[in-house]
Amino acid sequence: MNARDLASPSSIHPGAPFALHAQQQIGQIAVQLPGATAVFRRLKLDFCCGGQVSLAQATADKGLDAGAVVAELAQLQRGDALPQAGASANALIDLIVARYHEVHRAQLPELVRMARRVEAVHRSHPAVPTGLADALEETHAELLDHMGKEEAVLFPMLRQGGNPFVGMPIGVMRAEHADHGAALERLNALTHDTAPPEDACTTWRALYAGIAQFCDDLISHIHLENNVLFPPFEAPAGAAHGLDAGASDCASPRCGCH
């Protein structure tokens, strides 16, 4: 059984929840569940050459509890993180940090590792994404710097209800968001819109599935900040919107001032 038997491109929907269970082939889980490869590597479960084995068999061979591994993998499944109507600035910031900042910090090192492996092992393949690992590493460094500035400078300002000067750091963050958008375009170009070749191995497919999810996550992250969190603090006479750190009708994605 080859990689195409494990998971064809038409059957993969990166980031979409699927029915995870112990009888699934470990290679299929690696492709369909971004982040699973890091778990498998830590537990020394072979998802590449031994990818046709079920998770139950792979864990049994290693003396591991299949149920515990399934439970750990289930935590990687993520649904849409949408703010409730009328969410406060504090609630929005808490959501952004937990759902996006911490997720990006976990996603990118594993993607860089897999990209370097794919580029090394498949360097003679005509479709090898040469330069992908370097691009991911650069994106990782830029995001770490960006998120650090938000958490140390901008978000504390917003939690306090903003101030007359908050427009400046928001403007800087918006400009950096545009740079992140350009980085995503570069990743899509290097990976042919995250479409692996027909003969791609499981690691290659898992890499592209993970990049697809990262791109979706970053787009949602930027949207939530640019279009939901920031505008009430940028509007003239923000107090007229009833904005404070505890409650804000303008923080709703359905608010008329967006």
Q: What is the DSSP string of 193-246?
A: TT---TT--HHHHHHHHHHHHHHHHHHHHHHHIIIIISHHHHSTTGGGGT--SS
Task: Read off φ and ψ for residue 247, nearest 5 degrees.
Answer: -155, 145
What's 20's domain CATH number?
1.10.3910
Q: What is the sign, positive or negative, of the torsion defined by CA atoms of 141, 146, 147, 148? A: positive
Domain edge (last residue) among 74, 97, 118: 74
Domain assignment of residue 162, given as a range: 89-251
In this structure, the answer to whether residues 57 and 96 fall within a common structural domain is no
In this structure, the answer to whether residues 125 and 151 fall within a common structural domain is yes
Q: Is the pLDDT assigned to residue 105 strictly greater than 60?
A: yes
176-199 per-position pLDDT tens digit: 999 999 999 999 999 999 999 999
Mean local confidence (pLDDT), 152-162: 96
158 domain residue, yes or no = yes
91 burial via Cβ count (<10 Å: 0-12, 13-18, 19+) = middle
DSSP letter at 252 equals S
Q: How confident is the model at residue 7 (pLDDT cuts 50, 70, 90)?
A: very low
Q: How confident is the model at residue 153 (pLDDT cuts 50, 70, 90)?
A: very high
109 domain residue, yes or no = yes
* Helix, strand, coil percent values for the chain (each to nearest 5): 60, 0, 35
227 domain residue, yes or no = yes
Q: Average pLDDT, whole number, for the chain?
A: 84
Among the listed ranges 19-23, 57-61, 186-190, which one has the minimum average pLDDT value?
Answer: 19-23
